[in-house]
Structure 1
Amino acid sequence: MHIAQFIKLEIIILNLLKNQDLTSEQIYCILNKHFTIIEGELLVSLFFLHENHLISFQTVDDCFIYHIEEAGLVRYTTLKREYQNIHQATEELFQNEKTKI
């Protein structure tokens, strides 16, 4: 997984957990509807997010249920803002394709 892919996966997972607590299987099913994803990539991302105290989990009936923490909400907001800034700058470049850089 490239770092850019990891960051995209990170923001998407945080966004999903911002709306509700989910199991890794639920997250995988949602992501798999829109992206090609390897389950191992998801598990690595969940581990990273947990190790950095952005998410927590509890075990219910041998399932991990993931929950976003306050630090995760802050990280999500930061990543979203960075994404929007990059998107806006890219759109400006596309609108001014004749402009020399």
Structure 2
Amino acid sequence: MQLSQFPQFEIMILHLLKQQDFSGEHIYQILNKHFQIIEGDILISLFFLQDTHLISSYSLENIVFYHIEDPGLVRYTTLKREYQNIHQSMEALLENEKTKIQ
């Protein structure tokens, strides 16, 4: 499955950083196990999230690690709720064999 849209990266990166701090390389490795992604797309997403103060970064032994900030936790909660609403709506639509127009 190919993943290339930013909101999908955003929620997954925030989800990972909610669990613990990661380097960009670790985030790429984790996501690349499940999706076909380009490492540069992850970096662009990380820079955007950092520029919007949803995450911060720090260096440890010359490796940059990313950390989720409070606004990032709020954004993650919002994105997760939106995803769940879309998923529930899709499930309801797909459960019906015939969709009726009222």
Shorter-normalised TM-score: what interval? over 0.9
Overall identity of the aligned pairs, in %: 64
Give the residue type in structure 2 aligned to 1:11. Answer: I
Q: Which moved more, 1:33-42 or 1:88-97?
A: 88-97
User: Is 2:76 the counterpart of 1:76?
Assistant: yes
Give the deviation of 1:61 after TM superposition.
1.8
Structure 1 runs of 4+ with >6 Å offset:
none
Structure 1 unpaired stretches of 5+:
none
1:14: which partner in 2? 14
Give the residue type in structure 1 aligned to 2:60. Answer: V
Give the deviation of 1:40 after TM superposition.
0.5
What is the DSSP-based 3-state SS (H/G/I as helix, E as strand, rest coil) of the residue aligned with 1:59?
Answer: strand
Give the residue type in structure 1 aligned to 2:62. Answer: D
Give the residue type in structure 1 aligned to 2:36. Answer: T
Give the deviation of 1:100 after TM superposition.
2.0
Give the deviation of 1:42 after TM superposition.
0.3
What is the DSSP-based 3-state SS (H/G/I as helix, E as strand, rest coil) of the residue aligned with 1:34?
Answer: coil
Q: Deviations over 1:15-67 (max 9, x none)?
A: 00000000011111101111111011000000000000000000112211100
Q: Which moved more, 1:58-67 or 1:48-57?
A: 58-67
**Structure-to-structure mapping, 1:1-101, within 5 angstroms:** 5-101=5-101
* Structure richer in helix, relative to its length: 1
Distance 1:84 1:68 in 2: 21
TM, length-normalised to structure 2: 0.91
RMSD: 1.1
Aligned length, in residue pairs: 98
What is the DSSP-based 3-state SS (H/G/I as helix, E as strand, rest coil) of the residue aligned with 2:100?
Answer: coil
TM, length-normalised to structure 1: 0.92
